[in-house]
Amino acid sequence: MAKKQKYCPSWIMKIITSLMVYDYIVNDDSFFMQTKKFVDYLKKYSEIKSEELEYIASLKLEFLGSVKNVKDPYLLLNHYMYSLINEIEPGEKGIIKGDPYEGEKKKKYNAETLIKDFQIFVYSCRSSLTLKAPMGWDIRNEEDIGELSQILKKQFSLDDLIESVSKE
């Protein structure tokens, strides 16, 4: 009997696409390179394509560009990821809580809902209504985020890109 594929939890999509935008702004990493890094990890979930990641990340970037009086948009992304990590606590599992990395039976997100959630957070954060990341916080330095920490710390080189493209 074939194992049923499960969909990626929305919080993982929110983190990954936010990190893509963050790295685009701060490190000048292209979305194309970053999607190649994350697609291998996301293969364990059903129906995630690199185009979807790029599309959601570009919508977030476009939104940040349209928000007035934002000097450091990367800080908003940092606060957003910090808030998600503190809400989900991905390093913790339990009988009641369950495994936050376990796929979902139904896809509970689309690009529009993810962007709306992000927009709401940004406006709330600008009004000081949300939890903000401490100064110097970086998601890559978080110890207790479970399997996501391995993928976030992974460096993706040009050689990796060439290898992944040649497989396709």
pLDDT class of 163 with cuts at 50, 70, 90: low
**Assigned token pair, 159:** 């050689």
The reported pLDDT for the residue numbered 48 is 86
* Cα dihedral across residues 156, 61, 13, 131: positive or negative: positive
The reported pLDDT for the residue numbered 18 is 96
pLDDT digits (tens, 9 = 90+) for 81-90: 999 998 887 7
**Assigned token pair, 97:** 């809580």
pLDDT digits (tens, 9 = 90+) for 86-138: 888 777 666 566 788 888 889 889 999 999 999 999 999 999 999 899 999 99
| Residue 141: DSSP 8-state | G
Are the C-beta atoms of 17 and 23 separated by less than 8 Å?
Answer: no
Phi, psi of 96 (to 5 degrees): -80, -45
Phi, psi of 124 (to 5 degrees): -65, -40
152-165: average pLDDT = 65
Tell me the C-alpha distance between 43 and 8, whole Å. Answer: 9
64-73: average pLDDT = 89
Give the DSSP per-residue string, 78-109: HHHHHHHHHHH-TT---TTT--TTSPBSS---
The reported pLDDT for the residue numbered 95 is 59
pLDDT digits (tens, 9 = 90+) for 17-64: 999 999 999 998 888 888 888 888 888 898 788 899 999 999 999 999
